[in-house]
Structure 1
């Protein structure tokens, strides 16, 4: 049935790094279009991190993450680029 392909699958929360069952996680799409599923892979947030972050202002966050090459470059480069972009926005 619907959830059977997720049974037993675990994912890693992009906020805290903890592994959790896929059924207990929330999908996150850095491009802000989680409904278009064709040829797409998702990142995940555990329920706790999702609850803590979903109430924060996100205006422009996805665009900034994409511009900083989140998930496409190494951590040091991403953090440098993100910091520069965030400074430019203030």
Structure 2
């Protein structure tokens, strides 16, 4: 696998991981007991921490990429395993 492929796949995993970890640990101003800005929506986060989210996304994406990379070399799941037509009896 080329380094450019590794970087591109890791970047995809990182973005996916960022969206996965984004809602965890976020509290609204009402839950924190903090004052709201006039016109602020009730569901706006009161403790948004982008560095913490980036760190969590980096750790999760590293784990996800490690499993992907191990599967790439060990071929635990191949394209043939993902062919669902063999399981449902459809032929083309």
TM-score by length of 1: 0.27
Write 1 or 2 for the structure with the bigger share of strand: 1
Write 1 or 2 for the structure with the bigger share of helix: 2
RCO greater where, 1 or 2, for CA within 8 Å and sep 6 or more?
Answer: 2
Which is greater in Rg?
2
